[in-house]
Structure 1
Amino acid sequence: MDQIKQVAIVGGVHGNEFSGIYLVRQYLAQPEQVKRASFTTESVWANPEAHYANKRYLHSDLNRQFKNCDLANLALSNYEQSRAKVLNAQLGPKGNARTDLLIDLHNTTSNMGACLILTQSGPFYNQMAAYVKMMMPEAIISRDEDHFAAEDHALMCTLGRYGVLVEVGPQPQSVLRQDVLELMHRMTQHILDFVEHYNNGTLPVLPKETEAFRYLHSIKLPMNAQGERIGMVHKNVQDRDYQPIYPGDPIFTLFDGSEIPYDGDTVVYPTFINEAAYYDNNLAMSLNEKVLITLP
């Protein structure tokens, strides 16, 4: 039977996402909170220098540095690129990792609640999703490009043999909110409990179907030919992460007062709406489809 022997909980990949940093500090101070009988847990602060500078990153986004080809490229040597190689040596190496499960903790400025993001598919992930959703009904399950192989993913969680992200919001950058920290802690505890049950063969009866959302693509804010923004996210969409957008619904309001409707032909579900960290790329939101995770 597949066994999870080594778990890593990683916070602070982005220096201005405070919940993961403070939760890792809490776990380092009180390791009994993440201790389980069947596996060992280590807590890791990923990007301290960016936190000290009160920035998301110093040179490049650390959570985009973990493709196999980039980890092997010694010419990629700025702070975050070098830090990724250090973390790969500490927790990986990717593809043959000593870490069986990596739990990566993140905040979003968007109104997404507590999200379990799966970047891979398979029975282990499906059972985890069903367990977390059963224990925490308000949780959102997201399947983010889970059709790609781990080596093609740039995200840090793919360092582990298994890897997931815990994404919780809304929380402004460089701010700590008790409700958001508590949600992150609760979801992390449910994941650890799931692993303990999984190792021991004591999982409860899980629902056969679990609602989830699969990433489709991202859309940008309206811009003119000069690359200047000429509009904003429509007020009827703002803060309504995971709520349906129907064909023809307005999604942007232009500064001249006109509106731009959603021009797709199927219902979609927006996430990362107006995420502050994505404004440098003019990203407005990600669009998702609703799917079901099924267990045999």
Structure 2
Amino acid sequence: MWIKRFAVYCIVSILALVWLFPFAAFVVSLVKSPDEFDVLEFWALPSLKHILRNLIENIAYAWSRANIGNNFFNSFIYASAAGVGSAFVASLAGYALVHLSIRAPQAWFLGIFAGNLFPFQMFLIPLYVFLTTLNLYDTRLGLTLVYLGICVPFALFVYRNYAFTIPRELFDAAKIDGASPFDSYIHIFLPLSKAAFAVVFVFQFTWTWNDLLFGLVLSENYRPVMTALSKLSGLRAAVPVPVLSAGALIASVPTILTMLLLQRFFIRGFTVQIEK
């Protein structure tokens, strides 16, 4: 028994080291100045009094060099709208498909979810033509609508599965008491689906925040933060590695905070998806 447990611990430890190695390299490069990065051994760290100074200087340099501020604001708008908007639309659809008497609910679900079965590169040219026709190309509204539409199919998958876990008897009892379907949605379905909202919001916020493809093709003046990070890495000959690491740190902070704040609900909702 102990041999099996020891083998499991060894495997887990090796996997942990594999995952931690790139992170450790990232931290080591982040706390060095460009000169120290070129002079010191890779794993050597500067003195403690220089670490904080180097970190602040690298972050400030990355922020100003890549004009991350405007792109950061754009990404926050896109990711927040995609996370909240897709959750709202999917909650309505999931509630209707499971707890309302509509014709062919399975066909409706498959028709909407089919959007996730194709590579997103297929949508670039049609979306470009569509946005240009409506004068929405290179606008925050246009890119927000694109992200919202792409996020809805997966969000519906989550909410539909979660809706099956809510007993129909609750809605039947509310109907007997005179509640309308919308009342049941507001007072029963939404309060009981907080975990589903956490799963949808975390996934869609993170995906939208990390997207480079649509932001690069469908906008020029309102691009998300990942395009700024891509621009910064494209200047690698002129931008030191510690500054690139600082840019990556700036870009990753919102998604880390989102996961930490919604972790409890996210785990609960994700567990329901696995059980389904």
Higher strand share: 1
Q: TM-score, normalised by structure 2?
A: 0.24
Larger RCO (CA within 8 A; separation ≥ 6): 2
Q: TM-score, normalised by structure 1?
A: 0.23
Q: Larger C-alpha radius of gyration, 1 or 2?
A: 2
